[in-house]
Every structure is written in C-alpha cells, then in structure tokens.
Amino acid sequence: MHGGPGGGITPLYRQFFDPTQWRIILFDQRGCGRSTPHAELAENTTWDLVSDIEKLRIAINEKSPAHLAIDHWTVFGGSWGSTLALAYAQTYPERCDGLILRGIFMLRSKEISWFYQSGASYIFPDAWEGYLAPIPPEEQGDLVAAYYKRLTSENPDIRQAAARAWAIWEASTSKLIPDDDLVARFSCDRFAESFARIECHYFINGGFFDTENQLLANVERIRHIPAIIVQGRYDVVCPMTSAWELHRAWPESELIVIDNAGHSATEAGITSALVEATDRFAQDFPESSSTLDAF
C-alpha cells in the first residue's frame, strides 16, 4: 500500500527494509500503478482496500498453495498509507505485530481544507496559482467539489488538465526544499490521472468513514500494538498536528519528530528514522518479519 490514494508503488519503497530480515510485500491499490482498470473509481473505497489487504495476507494460489498465507505482520504506511494502515489495523488488530507510520493523515475535514482549500496556500502562493488555474473564480469556494466535477468529466482534456494541476500542487509542496524531479514525475499524464481522480474521489466521500474522527476514536482497538510514528515538523501536506493528536490519544506509541523535514519519506532525516524503525522491529519480532508496505 502506498500514498495517495492513487500513488502506486515504486521499487524505492523496498529500501526501507533490510531484505535479510524482512519479507517485503508491496501492492498497487485499486485503480493505480499496475492495477487495472486504471484510474477506476467504482468499487474503490477504504473498505474495499482493507478487504484486499486481508485477502493478500491469506492468499491461496492454486499453483502455489502457500503463496502468502501470513498469520501476522508489521504494517508500514505513510501519508494516505498511514490512513489505510490505521483502518486495517483497527479492523484486524490481531493480525498486526506492529505499526510504523509516517506523515499522519486521518482524512478529516480540517486536514482536507488545510491543503486543498486554504492554509498551505499561504506558504506556497506561487504553486497555489497553478492549482487554482483550472477552476473559475465562481467555483473556488469549494475546490475539492470543483475538481471532482472536472476529474469525472467525460471530456478527457478537461480531466487531464485538472489531474495535472492537482498532482503538481502536491508534488510542489511535499518536500522542505522543492524538488523539480518530483514535480516532473507527478505531472506525467498517466500518473496524474489516477493520483488526482482517486484522491479526490476519496476526499469528497470523506474516506468512506462513518464519522470523520473514526480513526482517532477507535485508537483503543490498537493501543496494545507497538507503534512508531515518524513526522516531519514542516510537513505542509499532512501537518504535524495530526501526528500529535494521534500520539496524545495513543501514548504508548513513540513519536519521532524530524525537525528539518517536510512530508516526503525520501528526505534524509525521515528516511533514516524509518530505516532505524524497521531495523528495531526486525529485532523485536525476529520470528515474524513480514511487512505490508503501506507507503
């Protein structure tokens, strides 16, 4: 599991784990990466994904009866991956040895509003202009709804223009020091389409949660699970307040704040902390070092 939703897997994500210590399992969520149909929104909800994860855990392949058949594992997730990791762990706590979470995002309205309506715009006004560009002034009072209308348009040109603007906005703000290479990758048409469409689909539907505080309210279900939370202090995409609120509700978790980092897992301080976390967990659970990479 990766970020987004809709971000897809890259081989880089394996490098947070020592392959001599971990069995690393990564998959492209519905509608993105190599999953098909590409950018599909139908039957694509948080709970469909939670079900997919559990099916992968117990997957029995006719040609290989022990294809996965994992009894329990460590769940690793950042950004939207932290959302999905929490949703999975709260649904199947008995299957989780531990959680390693980064850039906490619980898909609450205040988090969506901060990044997609007003807040981050004050820090990146230059990039914000590009994000506003596809939306006429009369629709800018609800930018997520305006984007959803365009990202689900039957006109492919309208969809693609909106998708590129949405994806570039996130890429432009993901690191403490902006990264032109990241912006270029996010602006590719195929990636931008699945990333923007699926993200907006989840956001306008409130993550398909019963209440917007569902993940925070259900922390009691997972407080017994060892957890490390890694958070960039200057994360603009998923501000630190969410990590802090989660940690306060879950005092048994360990919160590691990286003072010179933003949102991206590839920033040096965050990468180091994540690698240290996986090394520690491999020592703590040497008999069960299987990980679901929810990055």
| Res 88 pLDDT > 60 | yes
User: Which pLDDT belongs to residue 286?
Assistant: 64
How far is residue 136 from each of residues 70, 127, 133, 230, measured CA to CA in Å? 50, 17, 8, 38
CATH topology of domain 11-108+208-294: Rossmann fold (3.40.50)
> Does residue 295 have a pLDDT over 60?
no
For residue 203, which phi and psi values (nearest 5 degrees)? -70, -40
* Catalytic residue selected from 2, 201, 247, 263: 263
Q: Assess contact for 100 and 281: CB atoms under 8 A.
A: yes
| pLDDT per residue as tens digits for the range 160-200 | 999 999 999 999 999 999 999 999 999 999 999 999 999 99
Residue 224 among the catalytic residues: no
Tell me which of 2, 172, 194, 235 is the catalytic residue: 235
What per-residue confidence (pLDDT) applies to 288? Answer: 54
**Cis ω for the linkage preceding 5 (within 30 of 0):** yes
Residue 50: per-residue pLDDT? 98
Q: Look at 113 and 61; give whichever has higher pLDDT.
A: 113
Reply yes or no on whether 79 is catalytic.
yes
Report whether 31 contacts 37 (CB < 8 A): yes
């099916």: which residue's tokens? Answer: 55
Torsion, CA 216, CA 16, CA 257, CA 251, rounded to 10:
40
- Show Cβ contacts of residue 154 under 8 Å, excluding neighbours closer than 6 positions: none
Look over the chain and give the mean of its residue pLDDT values, rounded to a whole number: 94
Predicted pLDDT at 292: 60
Spell out the domain ranges in the chain. 11-108+208-294, 110-207
Q: Catalytic: 38?
A: no
The share of the chain scoring above pLDDT 90, in percent, equals: 91
Reported pTM: 0.94
| Catalytic residue (one of 79, 121, 253, 264) | 79
